[in-house]
Structure 1
Amino acid sequence: MSDSALHGGDPSVLRRLNSVATLRALRGGGEPTLSELAKQVGLSRPTTEGVLGELVERGLVEEVAPRAGAGLGRPARRYRFRAEAGYALGMEIESHRARIFVADLDGEVVGGHSVDLDVAWEPPERLAAVRAAVKTCLARAKVDRSDLWAVAAGTPGVIAPDGTVAICTVVPGWQGLHLARELGRSFSCPVYVENDANLATVAERWRGVAKDVDDVIYVLAQLHTGMGAIIDGRLHRGRWGAAGEVGMLPELGLRDTAAVLSGAMSPSPATPSEVQDEGPGAGVDVGAGEDEESGAGAGEGRDAGVERVLDAAMRGDPQAVALVERLAARMARGIAAMALALDPEMIVVGGELTHAGDRLVEELRRHVRPLCLGPTRIEASTLGDEAVGLGAVRLALDHIDERLFRIDAAQ
């Protein structure tokens, strides 16, 4: 918008400016009086009253009941932002699980649901299960689908700006799928898709251990280890959405990270000395972790094998502990490479491989810090399995806020 539009006295622009300023003030919380709000925004009382009338009509604001014991005379009129005017839905879709969250406009989570997925499912079956999980989540939260203002999903892979999964090797049939469009068939609101590690990074800065940290790397330690980065307070996606995918280089030790552990506790386990650092999964029989009795597929077997190793490491089993330590040394190269490129204030480590308490994080501190040139902090995620889903909620809320506070179009 040009300067002339702002300063030329266009009534419609001025109304939107006043509306946005008033809404921002109320969005900050509290229940200010009409006079307090007018002073805070810098408008006259009649103008503020008119703006509030419009916001009340739109369902974004409401006048609250007078406070008890307000004294004699007419009580002051107070107003609040209606966080329940709309909702954001965030989801994580991976190979073996989908997790759904729904939150109000203040980011307060009002419902959640998770469902197991078959690793071998093709996209139609996977998407059908996700849609059913969304339906269950909304029903339990007593939120109508029509009240959703934005939906966001996090999933493994390189995600193109239009929501297409450009590259993905861990979810069958996912590569090339226009996931935003497929999910969008179930919603009347906009749908956004983002890489899972990117969303976990957003969540940690929003309400995790990296809250308000402007330069942070998130390490999503799972089947393959992915990373996301926030630089100067903004998510860094790169030109094609592939920022942080340094794990594509096998020399950096971030590929097949879960596989290194999954076969280790098989009937013929590899000893620590057999787990070499030359390449992904070296010295490990990846298929050894499959559950032969249940006929589980490779993806399910890897998960079960990983859990066995991590549980054993938590109990102090020497072989499992040694394997976790060796894995940390292997992963350190890729994490340090990312840290050297971006020089973050903090590195957050999350994902299924961190379930052995802080052992993996402690070992990463020991191996990564000597490779960095600054006092970068390395911390364990405080959001656990919820990081990606909560990051999706935050992404949806960001798009909602963008629409709520824009001044270049009708509200």
Structure 2
Amino acid sequence: MTVTGGDSSLLRRLNAAAVLRVLHEAESLTLTQLVRSIGVARATVENALTGLVEHSWVEEVAPVTDGARSVGRPAKRYRFRAEAGCVLGFDIGAYKILAVITDLKGEVLGSRQTAVTPDLPSAERIAAARTLGHRTLRGAGLRAADVRAVGIGTTGIVDSSGVVRLSALLPDWTGVDLVAALGEPFGAPVVAGNDTNLAALGERWRGSATEARDVLYIHAGRRISAGILIDGRVHAGRHGAAGEIGVLPASSWPTAPGRLLGWSGEGQGDAEELFAAVRSADPRALAALDRYADDLAQGIAAVVLTFDPELVVIGGGVSQAGRLLLDPLRDRLAGQCLFPVEVVTSALGDRSVALGAARLSLDLVERQLFEVSPRD
């Protein structure tokens, strides 16, 4: 973090970053509390606060009172200005684009969605995301200049530079440079990743996995895919392809969704029709869901045996079946895994990817604010 362009003192920048980090983690703190938390001289904290206030990262707030009249001058109290900027999180998929805005402490300020189709050309998909991002900002009373970072979750294998290396679902999407496509319109750095990985991050942040650090997220919908967190961080692998179980010839994941939604033998239905039929004990629907649990468990067990997670989170449209799916799935995993693994459904639904993308962009902003390099 650099407080001013001409400030060449590493020590001063380290102190400013330390003050900012402590304030970011608290509601507000007095000067005395800051000195105690950071462990430096009072004058050092005061100097850091002066620069942070000048640059609008911190502000002095009214002292907390209980209504009683205090004796003497009230202690100065400061807070981190979460409204000093915002981040954008995108879920760019085959059928929808969802945008979420949060402030710099992660409070959601706005969200909007637009429908798209798998055959939409990549340039038009990018244009739709840009338009949706600007609409979402305007709806929250914000401007592109307020955006500190942009996070993107999307279908396909996304490398560490933000390029979609391979997208089987959207062939036209392969080769798209997401950083270049969405950095300029918002004037902010861009971070991107696979949508299922970022769904796992979203669940870890705000959903069903807040108490777990090693997490396997399974998207069970029109497709089946896996996202992996190790020690709370996305594990994408060397090429961004970790968890791509569906490419194995022996895997049943690519064909399982079609077999499930074709349970009636009358063409493709939808998940709600299936669940209603299961609840009414339709034997064909029950058999289809049972086979789907077999298909799903095969790939999940392979990943569970590979990295031994604390928790498996099932998301996507089929997760709406709840215990109708979880009970047979748990039974099968118990028979295939060496140790029991907890299996739950997503708490975020279709917002998990966008929220995970927002969390990824917040991580970037926080690194910029709190980590100081001697070369800065």
TM-score by length of 2: 0.93
Q: Residue type matched to 1:132 in 2? A: T
Query: Runs of 4 or more off by more than 6 Å in structure 1?
Result: none
- For 1:236 and 1:356, locate their aligned partners in 2 and report how far apart those are by CA, in whole Å: 28
For the pair 1:242 / 2:241, whether they are aligned, the reply is: yes
Q: Residue type matched to 1:340 in 2? A: L
* Structure 1 match to 2:28: 31
Among 354, 357, 365, which residue is 1:389 paired with?
354
CA RMSD of aligned residues (A): 1.9
- For 1:102 and 1:166, locate their aligned partners in 2 and report how far apart those are by CA, in whole Å: 27
* Structure 2 match to 1:60: 57
For the pair 1:86 / 2:85, whether they are aligned, the reply is: yes
For the pair 1:354 / 2:351, whether they are aligned, the reply is: no
For the pair 1:399 / 2:364, whether they are aligned, the reply is: yes
- For 1:83 and 1:95, locate their aligned partners in 2 and report how far apart those are by CA, in whole Å: 33
Deviation at 1:382, TM superposition (A): 1.1
Deviation at 1:395, TM superposition (A): 0.3
**Structure 1: gaps spanning 5 or more residues:** 1-9, 270-287, 290-303
Quick check: 2:149–2:188 contact (8 Å CA) kept in 1? Answer: yes
Q: Aligned with 1:149: secondary structure?
A: strand
Deviation per CA, 1:3-44: give whole Å up to 9, x if none. xxxxxxx98111122112111111111221111111111111
Corresponding pairs, count: 368
Deviation per CA, 1:209-249: give whole Å up to 9, x if none. 21141211111112221111112232211111111111211
Quickly say closer, same or farther: Cα 1:401–1:315, change in 2 above 3 A: farther
Q: Residue type matched to 2:107 in 1? A: E
Deviation at 1:57, TM superposition (A): 1.2
Deviation per CA, 1:71-109: give whole Å up to 9, x if none. 132111100011111111101011111111000011111
For the pair 1:216 / 2:221, whether they are aligned, the reply is: no
* Structure 2 match to 1:153: 152
Among 4, 16, 21, which residue is 1:19 paired with?
16
Among 295, 301, 308, which residue is 1:336 paired with?
301
Q: Aligned with 1:211: secondary structure?
A: coil
Q: Percent identity?
A: 41
* Structure 1 match to 2:43: 46
Q: Residue type matched to 2:359 in 1? A: R
- Larger RCO (CA within 8 A; separation ≥ 6): 2
Q: Residue type matched to 1:253 in 2? A: S
Deviation per CA, 1:264-299: give whole Å up to 9, x if none. 33xx44xxxxxxxxxxxxxxxxxx33xxxxxxxxxx
**Structure 2: gaps spanning 5 or more residues:** 1-6
Quick check: 1:313–1:356 contact (8 Å CA) kept in 2? Answer: no
- For 2:40 and 2:121, locate their aligned partners in 1 and report how far apart those are by CA, in whole Å: 57
Q: Residue type matched to 2:197 in 1? A: N
Q: Aligned with 1:84: secondary structure?
A: helix
Q: Aligned with 1:252: secondary structure?
A: coil
Quick check: 2:196–2:217 contact (8 Å CA) kept in 1? Answer: yes
TM-score by length of 1: 0.85
Deviation at 1:127, TM superposition (A): 1.9
Deviation at 1:366, TM superposition (A): 1.4
- For 1:410 and 1:207, locate their aligned partners in 2 and report how far apart those are by CA, in whole Å: 35
* Structure 1 match to 2:4: none
Quick check: 2:322–2:345 contact (8 Å CA) kept in 1? Answer: no
Q: Residue type matched to 2:157 in 1? A: V
Quick check: 1:221–1:257 contact (8 Å CA) kept in 2? Answer: no
Moved more, 175-184 or 199-208: 175-184
Quickly say closer, same or farther: Cα 1:234–1:72, change in 2 above 3 A: same
